[in-house]
Structure 1
C-alpha cells in the first residue's frame, strides 16, 4: 500500500547494512529520495512533503513586505542548540512561511539591512510580533537612523515569528524623542516592562533604558510582565516623573498567576525622565 511517509536518510542506510540485500522497492525509495535532494520533485512529492511539514513541531517565521520594490532585510534566527539561519525579507509579492531548524527557544536579531534611499517624507516601517504576544516597531531610513545590525527582536519561546516591512508616507519629517526609564525592583521576582508609542515599541526588558520614540505623538504606554505563580503577594509598580516626583500611574501584578501584558492605566505624556518602583503591595508606601 502506498503511503505518504517521508523517507529519512537513517532509514535508507538500514537497507544497505552489511549482509542485507536491498529490494527493488527499497532501491526505488533511494531514487525518489535523491530526486528530492536534486530539486526535481514532482507535484505529488511536493504535496507529500508539504503535508508532512505541516505537522512539524518546529517554530516558523511568516514574513512579507508592502510597497517595497527594492531592499533586502536579513533576519538571523538562532535555535536552542546554536544553529543559525538567515531569512531575507524582500519583495516577493506574497507572504512567505519558513520553518526554523532545531528547537525553541529561538533568539531573533537583525542583520545589515540593504535599503534604497527614501525621498520626501517616506520611511521604512519594521513590525515584528513574537508568539502573538508582543511586538517591536520601528521607523527607519530617510533622516531617521537605520536598523542596527544585531538589533535584538526578542526570543520565540513557542512557535511563531511574524515580520512585515512596509513603506509609510507622512505629511512631515519625523524626529526621535528620548525618555529615560529607570526600574527599581524591590522584590525578588523578575519584573519586565515594555513601552509602546506611535510606530515605536521595544521588547520587554528588566534593564534601565532610553527610548528613541517619535514626535508623531509624545506619549508612551507602559506594560509589565512577571510570573507570580507560587507568590501569594501582589506587586504594585508605581511610575513617577523623576524630575518632579509626581506619581503618574500604578500597575498591579496579581499573585498566583503569570502576569502578561499588564498595562498601567493612562499614557506617559511629554515626560523625559521616568522612574518605575515595584514593591510587594502590602509593603509599598
Structure 2
C-alpha cells in the first residue's frame, strides 16, 4: 500500500476474496484498521470524533459537581425510541462533563436512588437542573430533609439540552420545609401553567393544584406563568390572591398572539399559606 493511501473497507475486502491468499502485511493492515478495546485514541482522532459528535442531532446531558467526593448520582434518560440509559454523575472537579443520549427526543429525565454519605449536622445536597434553557428544578435533600426519592422526574427534554449540577451546601443551621397550598382556577379554554421559585427550591410548570415544600431559608416564592396565545387575539389576566383573606397580591398579563414564556407578575409571595390563582380573559374579568 502507498504510504499516504487511505485504507477503505472495500480495499480490505479485496484481500479476502475467494481464491486469494492474504499476505502477512495485508493481515497487519486489517488489524491496524480495527479499533481494539484497549486502544487509546490519538489527539487527532479525539478531535475528529469530537467534531463528528458536535454535528449529531441527539440530545445530551451536561453535568458538574463540587464538594462531592465518592458520592454517585444515577440519572436515567428514557428516549422516545430506545431503552433507558443511565448516566452516573460523580466527582467532576468543578468542571462540566458532557455525554450524548442515544435515540431521539423527547427524553424523559428522572433520578435513581442516590446513595450518599452521612452529612454533617447542617450540610445538605443541592440539586439544580435546567431543561432546554426553559425551566429549572431546585432542591435540597439529605440530613433532616427527605432524601431524594427514587424515580423523581426532573422533566422532559423536547429539544436537546439537559444540565444538572450537584453540590454540598453548609447553611450553619437546620433547614425545614414550609408548605403553601396553590389552587389554579382557569376560566379560559387556553391551558395556563404556573411555576414557583423559592430559595433553593422550585417546581416544574404545572396546571394542577399543588402544595409546596419550599424552605425556611426565606419564606418567599416567585410565581411565573406560561401559555400559548399565538392563535388568540385576547390577553389573559392571572390574579393571585391570599385565599385566607381574599386579598389580591399580584397580577400577571399574558399577551395575545404570543407564546408567553416565564411571565413574572413582578412581586414576591411572602409568608402566605393558602393561595388562589384566577385566570380569565382580560376584557371579561375586571
TM-score w.r.t. the length of structure 2 is: 0.88
Does residue 247 (structure 1) correspond to residue 241 (structure 2)? The answer is no
In structure 2, what is the equivalent of residue 60 of structure 1? 60
1:45 Cα deviation from its structure 2 partner? 2.8
Deviation by residue 1:65-123 (Cα, 9 ceiling, x = unmatched): 11111211111111122431111111132321000111111111111101011112111
Runs of 4 or more, structure 1, over 3 Å off, are 20-24, 26-34
Using a 3 Å threshold, how does the CA distance of structure 1 residues 28 and 122 change in structure 2: closer, same or farther?
Answer: same
CA contact (8 A) 2:125 2:167 kept: yes
Give the unaligned 5+ runs of structure 2.
Answer: none
SS at match of 1:135: strand
State the alpha-carbon separation in 2 of the partners of residues 175 and 272 from structure 1.
15
CA contact (8 A) 1:226 1:260 kept: yes
State the alpha-carbon separation in 2 of the partners of residues 231 and 79 from structure 1.
33
1:32 Cα deviation from its structure 2 partner? 6.0
Tell me how many residue pairs correspond in the alignment. Answer: 276
Using a 3 Å threshold, how does the CA distance of structure 1 residues 179 and 109 change in structure 2: closer, same or farther?
Answer: same
State the alpha-carbon separation in 1 of the partners of residues 147 and 269 from structure 2.
26
SS at match of 1:48: helix
CA contact (8 A) 1:186 1:277 kept: yes
Using a 3 Å threshold, how does the CA distance of structure 1 residues 217 and 55 change in structure 2: closer, same or farther?
Answer: same
Over the residues paired in the alignment, what is the CA RMSD in angstroms? 2.8
CA contact (8 A) 2:131 2:161 kept: yes
In structure 1, what is the equivalent of residue 121 of structure 2? 120
In structure 1, what is the equivalent of residue 220 of structure 2? 219
CA contact (8 A) 1:12 1:30 kept: no
Deviation by residue 1:175-219 (Cα, 9 ceiling, x = unmatched): 000011111111111111100000111111111111000000100
SS at match of 2:195: strand
Give the unaligned 5+ runs of structure 1.
Answer: none
CA contact (8 A) 1:182 1:275 kept: yes
Using a 3 Å threshold, how does the CA distance of structure 1 residues 32 and 260 change in structure 2: closer, same or farther?
Answer: farther
CA contact (8 A) 1:198 1:216 kept: yes
SS at match of 1:69: coil
